[in-house]
Amino acid sequence: MPAPMDATGSGLAVAVAGARGEVLDWSRVRLRPLPQGWILLGVAGLLLTGFFHLNLNPGLFLIFWILGALFVAAFHTWRSVRGVRVRVSRAAPVFAGQTARFPVELDNGESRWPRFGLGVAAELGAGTDGAEMVVDLQPGERRSVMVVLPARTRGWLGLGRLVVGSCHPLGLMQARGMLTSRAVCLVYPRPEPEGPPPPPPARGGGEEDGRGMEDADFSGLREYLPGDSPRRIHWKGSARQGGLLVKEFSGVGEGVRWLDWNSLTGMDPEARLSRLCRWVLEVNEAGDAYGLRLPGSELPPDQGAIHQERCLRALALHGLPGFGKGEGGG
């Protein structure tokens, strides 16, 4: 995914695209009174009117002193947010019904001022924010927090607008810095809680008789990738090469399970995806070779964590715009 944008410079900073994050400059930070701030301003206005009418100079001095203190506090509240650099990363995939966790880094490395009570949350719309994480930043310090969003449906979940705010020091005013993040989270279908077991291996075989992918057509060797099944490592070739090599196969051999969309008749599409998701998890945990057939795409039989991720991705994006045959292995 594209990296967030960056801003550099001093004074009136300008947001510039980059990989270092995005600075909350003066144009992105808004200051607003909180309810208690409005109440105090209202009381001060009534007292000011009364003291003017009674010509009480000590009272007028007190009111102007309070208003001056409020102005200074508002400036410190605004400065607590302005200039913070924010970096947002994409979240690890989750299943529908779980919570997506987006890593957000707050950087105070370009400021000599400490920042207290910084709250970070995702804007949910209609003026409401999600769960808020609150941190303090000393000069030159970086802190990482997790911004959470509920993952209700499968597909891509975007973080959207991120809010960084503070009410320091008096809690009468709030400064809110807004930025739009392109960070996303891939949401897999919710696995079916229970149901029939996965289909048996084709023509028997599998783990019990030592067959599986080795009964398919051998197509060559490639370098080992994390998540590949140890049973597919070509030990002799690896010894000669000086690095791990993995055997690749094409076609369908004995001991291979096919998880087929068309075999689930009488079920609505989301229920089929939910069952296939559970089957992928169960068969992968058993260590069997399996393939996945969906309308318009097919993932050939394989094993391991990488193959499981490809299958879950195909299920998550099935039927959504932009997902076709070319993305089946992504």
Q: Which of the pair, 184 or 8, is modelled with greater confidence? A: 184
Q: How far is CA 219 from the centre of its chain?
A: 37
The CA angle 259-260-266, to the nearest 5 degrees, is: 125
pLDDT at 136: 93
In the chain, % of residues over pLDDT 70: 80
Of 25, 10, 18, 19, nearest to 179 by C-alpha is 25
In this structure, which amino acid lies at residue 237?
G
Beta bridge partners of 128: 125
- Mean pLDDT confidence for 253-261: 79
- DSSP character at residue 191: P
- 143 pLDDT tier (thresholds 50, 70, 90): very high
The rounded radius of gyration (Å) of the Cα atoms in the chain is 29
The CA angle 201-207-208, to the nearest 5 degrees, is: 95
pLDDT tens digits along 219-246? 677 787 765 667 678 787 778 777 888 7
Q: Is the pLDDT of residue 329 over 50?
A: no
- Mean pLDDT confidence for 323-329: 40
Q: Are the C-beta atoms of 294 and 323 separated by less than 8 Å?
A: no
Residue 188: phi, psi to the nearest 5?
Answer: -80, 160
Q: Which of 63-77, 96-110, 224-238, 303-317 has the lowest mean pLDDT?
A: 224-238
- Mean pLDDT confidence for 300-322: 92
- DSSP character at residue 189: P
- 12 pLDDT tier (thresholds 50, 70, 90): very low
Cα–Cα distance list, 134 to 122, 165, 166, 273 (Å): 13, 9, 9, 38
- Spell out the SS3 assignment of 199-245: CCCCCCCCCCCCCCHHHCEEEEEEECCCCCCHHHECHHHHHHHCCCE
Q: How far is CA 154 from the centre of its chain?
A: 14
Q: What pTM, to 2 d.p., does this model score?
A: 0.71
